[in-house]
Amino acid sequence: MIVVTGAAGFIASCLVTRLNAANFNDIVVVDNFTVERKLANLKGKRLREYVDRNDFFEWLDKNHEQVEFIFHLGARTDTTEKSREILDLLNLEYSKKVWHACCQYQLPLVYASSAATYGSGTLGYADEDALLPLLRPLNPYGESKNDFDNWAVAQEEKPFFWAGLKFFNVYGPNEYHKGRMASVIFHAYEQIRRTGSMELFRSHNPEYADGEQKRDFVYVKDVCEVCYFLMHHRKNSGIYNLGSGEARTFLDLALNTFAALNQTADIRFKDTPEDIRDTYQYFTQAEMQKLRSIGYDRPFTRLEDGIQDYVQNYLVSGAYL
């Protein structure tokens, strides 16, 4: 039995599909299932049981002997969330309870961290423990993720295998419900379909031209492959970056979205919203040597190929993974 928290969300629902494809069908999904717009992400998947996130620990106390692995991907992922109370409850305290349960019942754990922990990137993007206390995230969401990473590394009692994954800019199917927090590729597709043009944020940093801001975009299918690898690997515990390892510009992203739609590019610029302007990241690029060093050798999907697959095989038809 495999437990996936946040299972109705973007990345976790894609992971369930990957597990089903490998004939893992004894899957317990944990989430807040009252959010109806997310439920389509689980439609048609082979599952054992739905467990409300508030009932999960009571359920685990009764069923832990049957559980083989826990993927803890549930979190409040809104980077504009200002309530530390909500973020501490869902991203920090809930994760601590998952950790303690995995220690108590000797269960291996993979949990979701975030590249938001790196803040402005002035200290680089190395996934080394020594860097963790020095990081200064730019928003409360990133702080909550960094707080848990620091807490986990400092614990004397740890699960026999655990891995925290610092997701960079993940894109791909099953993010229809995410609204403003959906990937730029999703928003590019929607804008182009609606207006025939695409708006990108203007640069407010003199070191970057408009559209030349760079991010490490990683396809959700690659994220699932790493999770699947770690489920079988079960050694070399620690915190790992999970990006493509290659920063690409937003212009690259926009031009490839137009190309996937066989449309002539029409790109315009608008000011970055003031509520995120001061905390906007202009460059992210995952250092991936640590994950490679433990034996993960699959290539990561090129941005061109990922956008083409996402647009043509999912967004155009509204399909789910």
Active-site annotation holder among 141, 189, 228, 310: 141
Nearest C-alpha neighbor of 282 from the set 246, 249, 316: 249
Tokens (6 digits) for 39 = 């439920």
Q: Residue 19: what residue type? A: L
Contact 239, 125 (CB under 8 A): no
Distances (CA, A) of 110 to 24, 90, 128, 189, 217: 17, 16, 17, 32, 21
Tokens (6 digits) for 215 = 């991010």
Nearest C-alpha neighbor of 199 from the set 279, 283, 281, 266: 266
Sign of the torsion angle spanned by Cα atoms 16, 19, 25, 29: negative
Sign of the torsion angle spanned by Cα atoms 156, 158, 162, 167: negative
Q: Is 118 annotated as catalytic?
A: no
Nearest C-alpha neighbor of 252 from the set 290, 176, 292, 198: 198
303: enclosing H helix or E strand? helix 303-310
Pairing of strands 247-249, 214-219: antiparallel
Q: Is 320 annotated as catalytic?
A: no
Contact 199, 276 (CB under 8 A): no
124: number of Cβ within 10 Å: 10
Q: Residue 308: what residue type? A: Q
Distance, CA of 120 to CA of 206 (rounded, Å):
15
Active-site annotation holder among 45, 96, 158, 178: 178
Q: Which residues are catalytic?
A: 141, 178
